[in-house]
Amino acid sequence: MPKQNGRGTDLKDKWMKVELTAPSELIDALSNFMTEIGAQGVFQEASYLESSNGFAENADSETLKAYLPFDIRLESRLKSLQIYIESLSQVFPDLRKPVFETERIDDPDWGEAWKKYFKPLRATKNIVIKPTWERFTPVGHDIVIDIDPGMAFGTGQHASTRLCLQAIEYLLLQERTMAKWRVLDVGTGTGILGISCAKLGVHKVVCVDSDKKAADIARENVAINDVEDRVEVINRDVATIHERFDLIVANLTAKILTKHRSHLVSLLGPDSYMIISGVIEQDREEIESHFITAPLTSHHMITEKEWLCYVLRKGGSAY
């Protein structure tokens, strides 16, 4: 129910629910886009068909529900979504065109209610992302990252975040010298990637985000995970950073990665690494032309559906 006061329901209590139906192959791209344009809560639901034997089977489409703030930017956000859908249709002409419906939601409690969708997630063999309000009993070598997203980006549920975590885990467990490493997490969001590096044993992590709200939330998560002695969160543009790092992790978009390529490379020390993700298959050629070139070489790449994650190396020999 909306709040009742002399001025009626506050805008902060209003949301626009956007329900998208799209081929499974496009769901992750749409989820990422909705997050980029400011959706505060993006949830995926598989569609099912009843087969002739009475059992449910996966359909070839899925439903994505996203909640946009009901503010002055709402119209432009929805227009951007329509343009993005048109571009997807041009890139993937053989797939059914995504469609969406909108519904206004008056719910002052949505800021808390969305949490029911965020459950503990095993992102890698050893790393488990757990919301602070959920219980989880670790086993074996589990590394548990407690996260309160606070409406910032990064709950570990997106493919690009999982790919980054897998790359980080693989790389750090292979490198015996990583206990002395300095790591830069660019566009840290909730701080998941930087916190994971610290919990895997890295000496020093700098998390940078130009969004003040994200930086504040990342600091809270750093404290929750008791890694304040190794993780520093900075609220500023990465272009203002001029230190040297042994590993740079950047889970961004192809456009932003390309924009900052030269500066990021300049921050790498000798015999160092860079992990980049947030890249989809259609951006592969552009990204590789910018990043798999001197002084960087390709160490390896991991993929999930249309999402790509590159582990790059500066110095040393390529694998």
Q: Give the model's pLDDT for residue 154.
A: 57
Task: Kindly indicate the confidence band of residue 151, based on its pLDDT and cuts at 50, 70 and 90.
Answer: low
- Round the average pLDDT of the chain to a whole number and report it: 84
* pLDDT tens-digit series, residues 159-179: 888 899 999 999 998 887 888
Q: Give the model's pLDDT for residue 47.
A: 44
Indicate the CATH number for domain 118-314. 3.40.50.150
* pLDDT tens-digit series, residues 286-298: 999 999 999 999 9
Lowest-pLDDT range of 5-9, 103-107, 197-201: 5-9
Answer yes or no: is pLDDT of 94 > 60: yes
Question: What is the SS3 assignment for the chain?
Answer: CCCCCCCCCCHHHEEEEEEEEEEHHHHHHHHHHHHHCCCCCEEEEEEEEECCCCCEEEEEEEEEEEEEECCCCHHHHHHHHHHHHHHHHHHCCCCCCCEEEEEEEECCCHHHHHHHHCCCEECCCCEEEEECCCCCCCCCCCEEEEECCCCCCCCCCCHHHHHHHHHHHHHHHHCHHHHHCEEEEECCCCCHHHHHHHHCCCCEEEEECCCHHHHHHHHHHHHHCCCCCCEEEECCCHHHCCCCEEEEEEECCHHHHHHHHHHHHHCEEEEEEEEEEEEEHHHHHHHHHHHCCCCEEEEEEEEECCEEEEEEEECCCCC
State which of 135-139, 222-226, 313-317 shows the largest mean pLDDT.
222-226
* pLDDT tens-digit series, residues 48-92: 334 444 333 345 678 888 888 888 889 999 999 999 999 989 988
Q: Give the model's pLDDT for residue 310.
A: 97
Q: Does domain 11-115 have CATH number 3.30.70.120?
A: yes
CA separation for the pair 192, 161 (Å, rounded): 9
Mean predicted confidence (pLDDT) in 140-159 = 75
CA separation for the pair 315, 302 (Å, rounded): 21
Q: Give the model's pLDDT for residue 297.
A: 95
Looking at the chain, the whole-number percentage of residues with pLDDT higher than 70 is: 83
Tell me the domain boundaries of the chain: 11-115, 118-314
Mean predicted confidence (pLDDT) in 1-13 = 41
CA separation for the pair 160, 277 (Å, rounded): 6
Q: Encoding tokens for residue 175?
A: 């490198």
